[in-house]
Amino acid sequence: MEKLIYLNGEFLTAAEAKVSVFDHGVLYGDGIFEGIRAYHGRVFKLTEHLTRLYESAKTIMLNIGIPMKEMEEIVTGTLRENNLSDAYIRLVVTRGIGDLGLDPNNCSNPTIFCIADQIKLYSTELYENGLDVKTVAIRRTNPDSLSPRVKSLNYMNNILAKIEAEQARVTEAIMLTQEGYVVEGTADNIFIVRKNVLLTPPLSAGCLEGVTRNAVISVAQQLGIEVREELFNRHDVYNAQECFLTGTAAELIPVIKVDGRVVGQGLPGEIFKTLLKGFRELTLVDGTPINQ
Ligand code: PMP
């Protein structure tokens, strides 16, 4: 069956689903997006993803033009059209077609598209054995310039970090704030375990408010694991018992080496494994049904 993509009110094939070269999403990265997952016929944390989308829109003063309920229908409708119950969904809203100037007021209507597909960021081997990562020289965008809480179409900061990691022949990059605190991966939040406490940087450090991050925090709290949103630096990561990344696409993935230092035992940790189990259980029950 050919994949069908939602684009501005229509379901089109990949060959037909085209965006204008005058779209400001293409010309300026002026737009926002969400990466969402469906598990077992339910869209995991759909309300949380849509809330973040509409909050990003508000901050960049983009009028999406349709209510959240209709956006929900676009996401579930795309999955139904493609007969998918487990999938990765990319929902994008751009400023729309304008002229060559950057003024968003010259863009008439936002462009909305939704793709449902599969995604596999890392090999099974890496999920089982953990990632070798590095802290990169390029710093995460300063929140005073552009809030990393806006999930914008401009990922150049993250892409440059990814390139730096690849040049150093490691799989992932850990990004730091201007002050040198650990903040997040290129498309993932970061957690460490120190003295059996789960730590993750606070949103004020300048990371995305990850949906998976929030889910992991609540799973940990339900399991009685102490969680703190707290700034930490590279020394804390090198000397952590455990380290792992979270994201919709990556889910939960262990980190076993950072800048050449082995973290903990150099194996996926016990708290990581407990949280992964709890997260998997949550994906079985949580979510908006695709077929209502
Ligand atoms: N940080 C960044 C920069 C990201 O792009 C992502 C992926 N959306 C995340 C963190 C993880 O967020 P989520 O769990 O909502 O996918």
Does the predicted TM-score (pTM) go above 0.95? yes
Q: Are residues 105 and 132 in the same domain?
A: no
Residue 73 banded pLDDT, cuts 50, 70, 90: very high
Tell the residue nearest (CA) to atom 4 of ligand 1.
187
Query: Does residue 224 belong to any structural domain of this protein?
Result: yes
The DSSP H or E segment spanning 275 is: helix 270-285
Query: Does residue 94 belong to any structural domain of this protein?
Result: yes
From CA 70, how far away is CA 83, in angstroms rounded?
A: 19
pLDDT at 89 over 80: yes
Tell me the pLDDT tens digit for each residue of 25-52: 999 999 999 999 999 999 999 999 999 9
From CA 84, how far away is CA 74, in angstroms rounded?
A: 14
Number of domain units in the chain: 2
Residue 194 banded pLDDT, cuts 50, 70, 90: very high
Task: Compute the mean pLDDT over every residue in the chain, rounded to the nearest whole number.
Answer: 97
CATH (domain of 54): 3.30.470.10
Looking from the CA of residue 184, the nearest atom of ligand 1 is: 1
Instruction: Please give the average per-residue pLDDT across 263-282, as a whole number.
Output: 97
Contacts of 230 (CB under 8 A, 6+ apart): 199, 200, 201, 202
Q: Are residues 146 and 72 in the same domain?
A: no
The domain boundary, picked from 117, 132, 166, lies at 117
Query: Does residue 289 belong to any structural domain of this protein?
Result: no
Centre of ligand 1 to C-alpha 219, Å, is 18
The domain boundary, picked from 66, 85, 117, lies at 117
From CA 198, how far away is CA 127, in angstroms rounded?
A: 20
Phi-psi region of 157 (alpha: psi -120 to 50; beta: other; left: phi over 0): alpha
Q: Which residues contact ligand 1 via a Cβ below 6 A?
A: 35, 158, 184, 187-189, 208, 210-213, 246-248
Structural domain range at position 75: 4-117
Q: Give the model's pLDDT for residue 251.
A: 96
Of 69, 151, 162, 273, the active-site residue reads: 151
Residue 151 annotated as catalytic = yes
Q: Nearest-CA neighbor of 198 among 282, 269, 277, 249?
A: 269
Query: Does residue 292 belong to any structural domain of this protein?
Result: no
CATH (domain of 193): 3.20.10.10
The domain boundary, picked from 117, 143, 177, lies at 117
Instruction: Please give the average per-residue pLDDT across 275-291, as a whole number.
Output: 96
From CA 23, how far away is CA 207, in angstroms rounded?
A: 27
Q: Are residues 279 and 237 in the same domain?
A: yes
Residue 141 banded pLDDT, cuts 50, 70, 90: very high
